[in-house]
Chain A
Amino acid sequence: MARANRGMVRSYADDLRLFPTWTKRGFLVVLAAVYLLLPLVLNEDVWPGGNGDLWANVLALAGITAIGAIGLNLLTGYTGQPSLGHAAFIGLGAFTAGYLGGGRLLGTPPHGYNLNLWVYLLVAMVLGGAVGFVIGLPALRLRGNYLVIVTLGLVYLALYLWQKWTTVTGGNAGTAMPPRASVFDIGGHRLDLLGKFDVFGQTMGPKQGLMYLAWGLVAVVALLVKNIVRTRPGRALQAVRDRDVAAEVVGVSLFRYKIGAFVISSAIAGLCGALYGLYLGYLTPDESSLGITLSITFLAIIVVGGIGTMYGPILGAVLVGALPKLIDQYATSLPLVSGIVVTDPSKSGLSKGALSTIIYALLIIIFLVFEPRGLAGIWRRIQAYFRSWPFRY
């Protein structure tokens, strides 16, 4: 009797398996090894003279945005509720972390509380989920275009709130986020993940620590969301996405699942925001850091990666997260544009920032027009090619 595989599903249990083939299991082992070893390679203490810390930082940011993108993908990709409001929840998470984790306002002693990393990450999630519940209520009555505009307004209301709530956020002066030396215990073993710590006898810095933390949480969040979408609630969410009226007719409670998607997605965004605050180190509530562009970035990530897929948001976050740094690093050696890029900001001409935005915007447009399934779609096409090889189809 043939073994169960993707094309051979004999029972519901087969269908539910997370890693159905040996290739996938092997891939998982490789990923775990990369996760453990990459911070060792990208480390200037271990390999001096390289650009390791820079790339560790880029990958840490990619992991952090991947977390938020996985959450948004649950809401937008699987439930079909487009939202531009992600930046509001990111801000909520970040300032929660600042207030509870011992962040400092300008010229004052530490305010708020000095809680453990896990505690404020958890509180950021819970708060994000609670606010997501409140936002989800009006969203029950809206869909599509109206929802996008309302969530856009939410970003600006949140920005206003951060600017006015000076005792928590520091207002326009901003907050210094919790010092990265957040010590915590794992089974009696003290580990200073955001300071200096040892892995395999090598000293790691806060950048590598954030990388471990972010990608570890990516795995946890991805597993959580995967478990939601492959079981009954996930099928309900996808029914809501495909046709909400029909879903209600067959007995899916719109209230329960739309709100549920908002709550979980916002909670994950809160977690992402807390980590984002740690990554930035200093957060000012203004248009450039917590404005509409941040929300757009998350939407762009899930579109470039592949909407409604599990690994799409992660691939997208790595690509979009690394893009500005890549351009910053290699702008002057790119073909076509190398001659016209100016590095002096006071001169007129194509600056690196402008080039990065142009490439990013073109990436969004090109992916949407030519590959709406994103990087995940390209990957599937490659898989299909080799599965049916040597035949074309």
Chain B
Amino acid sequence: MTKFLSLLGDGLALGAVYALVALGFVVIYRATRVINFAQGGLVVFGAFLVYQGEHTWGLGFWVSVVFAMACCAAIGAAFEALVLRRMIGQPIFAIILITIGLFLLVEPVTTTVWHNPPGGIATPWKLHTVKLGDVRLLQVNIATVVLGAVVLGAFFLLFRYTRVGLAMRATAVDQEAALAQGISVRQIFALSWAIAGAVAVVGGMMLAGGAGPAPGLSVSLSLIALRAFPAIILGGLDSPGGAVIGGLVIGVAQVMTGGYVPAEVPALGAQFADVVPYVIMFLVLLVRPYGLFGTAEVERV
């Protein structure tokens, strides 16, 4: 039971990060119908920018986080405005490939600028633990879940109760109608990318700070984003709420398999945990091709 609870803590922390990354996917997808493969790149870049602010410039943790969020939001919006806007009307895979191009750029750029950073990000929680009964939980895991909830909550408030949120929802439903109502669809596109960039930083920063079973501060953090794809398939490509639930389910499932499978079912091995998200994704797609909460695109022939 103790093991289960501590794994649950790890899993929820990882799930919160998946949820943040998946939210970035969904926000961009709803506005522009683009799947952003570069989201993983933004996760990595954000984590390294936090490191830069904290270690090199001595800005302090929270200031660095805000700085990195601003930078990644700007990068996202700039990429949308300068590159993707020229691609409207092109086939889907061309647009996907262009975001893959951005994704490929991140790794060499980060290794060139930062090489091998000697330490990770020093979060205020370090590696302290709290005891709940018999269970030791890493504070950073709790902080990740809480911070994830705050960011997601802020997004939902923005989405549901503000003019900007209304404009975003209108754009998602029908771009031309939104335009006719005086909404600047271009601004919404750029804003969506900016939001995705900013939430990616939070996810990357927590992973680099030691949350979940993460590799710390390294370029391989970008793989996390590739595993967040199953989360959005599970939740549905265009459902922010689905992204959160999908992220949590995938995160917990991955950590649980990592904790139990090597001992209980040795034949599957330790690497099985890494493919569990994809296995879940295949199973979901067999039953519901548009995810649990996604909009079915109905076409009759």
Contact = CB atoms under 8 A, between A and B. Distances in A.
Nearest to A172: B271
Contacts of A372: 90, 94
B104 A146 contact: no
The winner among B93, B96, B111, B229 for most chain A CB atoms within 10 A is B93
A148 B237 CA distance: 13
B21 interface: no
A361 interface: yes
A150 B282 contact: yes
A368 B87 contact: yes
Nearest to A349: B112
Interface in A335-393: 347-351, 353-355, 357-358, 360-362, 364-365, 368-369, 372
Contacts, number: 137
Contacts of B91: 80, 307
A362 B105 contact: yes
Contacts of A153: 229-230, 277-278, 281-282
A150 B285 contact: yes
A349 B110 CA distance: 10
Chain A's interface: helix, strand, loop or mixed, by majority? helix
The winner among B101, B107, B275 for most chain A CB atoms within 10 A is B101
A365 B278 contact: no
A152 B112 contact: no
Contacts of A358: 105, 108-109
A76 interface: yes
Contacts of B277: 153
A362 B91 CA distance: 19
Interface string A298-325: 0110010001000000000000000000
B259 to A, nearest CB: 18
Interface string B272-297: 10110111011001100110000000
The winner among A156, A163, A292 for most chain B CB atoms within 10 A is A156
Contacts of A369: 83, 86-87, 98
A362 B101 contact: yes
Given A157-B278, A160-B275, A82 B96 contact: yes
A248 interface: yes
A18 interface: no
Q: Report the interface size class on chain B.
A: 35 or more
A244 to B, nearest CB: 9
A145 B289 contact: no
The winner among B100, B102, B114 for most chain A CB atoms within 10 A is B100
B94 A368 contact: yes
A120 B196 CA distance: 47
Contact of B226 (A152, A300, A362): A152
Nearest to B237: A145
Contacts of B98: 364-365, 368-369
Interface of B: 29, 35, 83, 86-87, 90-94, 96-98, 100-102, 104-105, 107-109, 111-112, 114-116, 223, 226, 229-230, 232-233, 237, 268-269, 271-272, 274-275, 277-279, 281-282, 285-286, 289-290, 299, 301
Interface of A: 76, 80, 82, 138, 141-142, 144-146, 148-150, 152-154, 156-157, 160, 163-164, 245, 248-249, 287, 292-293, 296, 299-300, 303, 307, 347-351, 353-355, 357-358, 360-362, 364-365, 368-369, 372
20 contacts: A138-B282, A138-B285, A142-B285, A142-B289, A148-B35, A148-B93, A149-B232, A163-B269, A296-B97, A300-B97, A303-B97, A347-B115, A350-B108, A350-B112, A351-B111, A354-B107, A354-B108, A357-B105, A361-B108, A369-B86
